[in-house]
Chains A and B, each alone.
Chain A
Amino acid sequence: DAGVIQSPRHEVTEMGQEVTLRCKPISGHDYLFWYRQTMMRGLELLIYFNNNVPIDDSGMPEDRFSAKMPNASFSTLKIQPSEPRDSAVYFCASSSGHRDSPYEQYFGPGTRLTVT
């Protein structure tokens, strides 16, 4: 398996532009997570899905952020409009297992977003 795939790996955009980050989870995994990592705040969970359904989006900073999972093999995280404070590394992760079983999460390589 190729692991979790994210694209693009790097994104530089100007303030106010729309940014779309993409993720392909590991085949067969039924949980998908979006994280943001910064030096100041560390790794923060933004939202996670179970069987393509959003379960907890309490970490989404504000309405400028939205995430979708139209099918089991694809998810997007969109920021519109983007702001300089959104600059961070965004990770997608996936895992499998039953609700009461804390299986490990497999992370993608991340997308480094820079908003100027």
Chain B
Amino acid sequence: SQKIEQNSEALNIQEGKTATLTCNYTNYSPAYLQWYRQDPGRGPVFLLLIRENEKEKRKERLKVTFDTTLKQSLFHITASQPADSATYLCASRGNTGFQKLVFGTGTRLLVSP
């Protein structure tokens, strides 16, 4: 079955550095991937979407890449700030319906001042 995997260990980095989070998928080829941010006690918030025919997408300090050969997406936050501390979720299309998403378990990012 389709599987989305994210590193379950928290990522600790220093303010100002670039954070890189990984999303791997197996057993299928998603047409797109989405990245969401989730703060404690809140629902996920959409950040970026990248399609299979796109290598890279940017939005302000955020950058997402999509490598269909490696079956992997990387999510980068440049010049990270303590306010970027949150859990980041990767999601891709399920096997029925374009709107159905399968989520990874998320990676917690901690940015220290």
Size bin of chain A's contact surface: 20 to 34
A14 to B45, CA, bound (A): 32
Residue in B44, B89, B102 whose CB lies within 8 Å of A45: B102
A77 to B44, CA, bound (A): 19
Residue in A33, A106, A108 whose CB lies within 8 Å of B46: A106
Residue in B41, B43, B102 whose CB lies within 8 Å of A108: B43
Whether A42 pairs with B106 at a CB distance below 8 angstroms is yes
Chain A residues whose CB sits within 8 angstroms of the CB of B61 once the complex forms: none
Contact A101 B97, CB 8 Å, known A42-B104, A107-B45: no
Q: How many residues of B contact A (CB 8 A)?
A: 24
Tally inter-chain residue pairs, CB-CB below 8 A.
66
Whether A107 pairs with B101 at a CB distance below 8 angstroms is no
Whether A104 pairs with B97 at a CB distance below 8 angstroms is no
Whether B43 pairs with A95 at a CB distance below 8 angstroms is no
A41 to B102, CA, bound (A): 12
Whether A42 pairs with B99 at a CB distance below 8 angstroms is no
Enumerate chain B interface residues (CB-CB to A < 8 A).
Answer: 31-32, 34, 41-46, 49, 89, 93-94, 96-106
30 contacts between A and B (CB under 8 A): A33-B101, A42-B104, A42-B106, A45-B94, A45-B100, A48-B99, A48-B100, A50-B99, A55-B100, A56-B94, A56-B96, A56-B100, A58-B96, A91-B43, A91-B44, A99-B97, A99-B98, A99-B99, A100-B98, A101-B98, A102-B32, A102-B93, A102-B99, A104-B46, A105-B46, A105-B101, A106-B46, A108-B43, A109-B42, A110-B43
